[in-house]
């Protein structure tokens, strides 16, 4: 699950970099596209924040998955240890 968040974050950051680059391109090279540089910078900022939020969600998801795996392993080890002493 966390891998999907990482892929989404990378995609959003890539689009944010493209949008930031578009703010530096002169308006003559952008026929039919918004030529306002502040609009491109705003879009880049929003995409960058969304990418960072997605990366944070991926990290938190990965941490919770790791906690679940370790607690399950500890529970199984305790069960095996309890069975070993009972016999």
User: What's the confidence (pLDDT) of residue 6?
Assistant: 94
User: What's the confidence (pLDDT) of residue 87?
Assistant: 56
46 versus 86: which is more confidently predicted? 46
Tens digits of per-residue pLDDT, 8-17?
A: 999 999 999 9
Please name which of 24, 17, 25 lies closest in space to residue 45, comparing C-alpha atoms.
17
Reported confidence tier of residue 36, pLDDT bands at 50, 70, 90: confident
Tell me, what DSSP letter sits at residue 27? G
Q: Is the pLDDT of residue 86 over 70?
A: no
Token pair for 85:
């002493």
Reported confidence tier of residue 56, pLDDT bands at 50, 70, 90: very high
Tens digits of per-residue pLDDT, 19-34?
A: 999 888 877 776 777 6
Contacts of 17 (CB under 8 A, 6+ apart): 44
């Amino acid at each position: 699950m966390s891998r999907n968040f990482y892929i989404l974050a990378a995609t959003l950051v890539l689009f944010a970099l493209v949008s930031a680059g578009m703010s530096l391109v002169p308006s003559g090279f952008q026929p039919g596209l918004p030529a306002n540089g502040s609009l491109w910078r705003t879009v880049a900022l929003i995409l960058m924040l969304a990418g960072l939020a997605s990366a944070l969600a991926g990290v938190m998801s990965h941490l919770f998955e790791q906690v679940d795996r370790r607690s399950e392993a500890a529970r199984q080890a305790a069960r095996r240890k309890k069975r070993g002493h009972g016999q």
